[in-house]
Amino acid sequence: HVLQLLAAFPPVLLQHLRSGRGRGSGKQREALKGLLSESDVDRIWASRHRPMCVLRMISAIVRSAFTDIPKLARRFGDTDPRGTKFSPFEISIIKAEVGRTVDSSERNIAALVSSVSAAERIVKTAIPKSYSKHTSRFLSVWLFSLPLV
């Protein structure tokens, strides 16, 4: 499920940056339905900030995967492949590995959040009028001089 959400994140972010919050076409919604379940698409589509909604969903899945003790016990079990019980030292190693995985996942999600905010800052920054005037004059001179070459 996390991989499906990660696959849906770039088009959701692109749509958000291009059209602003709360907008989107039916085609974009149908494309998301090809990646995600109907309930996930509805949840994302109803959100005011769709990229952050996707990241919150990923974060919730990661948190629940590593804080659900019965699920972790089933995943790791209490015995090694030979059938002997884990020692307290081995249990502490497993807990440290789980903690490291959670920290790494949270850092990656935080990096995605900072990427979203940086992209929004770039899109919302206005281009100074002097830059646009200079660029249009340069392009006009360049285009008019092309037939002379």
CA distance 36 to 73: 29
What's the whole-model pTM score? 0.72
119 band by pLDDT with thresholds 50, 70 and 90: very high
CA distance 30 to 102: 33
pLDDT the model gives residue 71: 65
136 band by pLDDT with thresholds 50, 70 and 90: very high
pLDDT tens-digit map of 58-117 = 999 888 877 766 666 666 666 666 666 767 777 777 778 877 888 898 999 999 999 999
pLDDT the model gives residue 69: 60
Q: CA nearest 76: which of 54, 59, 91?
A: 91
pLDDT the model gives residue 48: 87
Q: Residue 55 pLDDT more than 90?
A: yes
CA distance 68 to 102: 13
pLDDT the model gives residue 118: 94
pLDDT tens-digit map of 92-103 = 777 788 778 888
